[in-house]
Amino acid sequence: MTAVYGHRGARGEAPENTIAGFRHARAAGVAAIETDIAVTADFCPVLHHDPDLPDGRLIHDCHVSDLGGVPTLVEALTEISDIDWLLEIKTFPDQSHKSHPPATMVGAVLAALSAARIPFSRIRVLAFDWSVLDDVRRRAPDLHLVCLTAPPQERAQSIWWGRGHDGLTTPRAVARFGAATWSPHHAALTLEQIAEAHALGLRVVPWTVNDPADFSRLAPLVDGITTDFPTRFLAGRCANSLQHGANARPTPFWSPG
């Protein structure tokens, strides 16, 4: 059964990247919670999609004490520790002023994981900027890496992926990079790419699948779905599990072997 992951918690059903939203996603039965990481001026990882705040301030120019209401990574992992997490470390190689350098971001995140005392087996690290993943691999080789892709980054792959991928299909580039999972934009994903990725030993987890027709098309073929509306796709499963007396535990993100 295809796993369902909550995007930014469950942003279509609860406030995104908030403790309340993460609790909602957990209660809905998601297999894992996806969230976005920025790092403050005092090197605290916080959970926020954009690099800037609504008032225009860049998060990396602010201290964590200036960000009332924005949860820290440690707070979220400590508050909801009984589920897997998909942590997207957000850097902007085409607009590098918007975040700390990748090495600084990765160091802050790894320190937060240590402070939260969460097993690496519960963590997956995602990034569009593959230099982030490369740094994670050097420092924490046991962490599961997920290559995010979308057409804009594919067209500027030397900026986002680094060198050495010219002439390769996207699944083959992900495999060559050495990630375990490929997470493409769902609208750009083809049946041929799914088949190629699986033949290369990759897991395929498209984002962000919200339309039931897209879910029906992709769910039988991929390993997981990231969605803003987890209840939309999990409610029927829970009812079916209860009807058959099953223990409705979420499908784990990754089962070795």
Domain boundaries, the chain: 3-243
pLDDT at 72: 98
The reported pLDDT for the residue numbered 236 is 62
Q: What is the model's pLDDT at position 235?
A: 81
Note the pTM of the prediction, 2 decimals: 0.93
User: What CATH number does the domain located at 3-243 have?
Assistant: 3.20.20.190
Q: Could you give the CA distance from residue 23 to residue 33 in angstroms, rounded to a whole number?
A: 10
pLDDT, one tens digit per residue, over 100-131 is 999 999 999 999 999 999 999 999 999 999 99
> pLDDT at position 237, please?
61
**In whole angstroms, how far apart are CA 194 and each of 101, 153, 213, 226?**
32, 19, 18, 16
pLDDT digits (tens, 9 = 90+) for 186-221: 999 999 999 999 999 999 999 999 999 999 999 999
Residue 239 has pLDDT above 50, yes or no: no
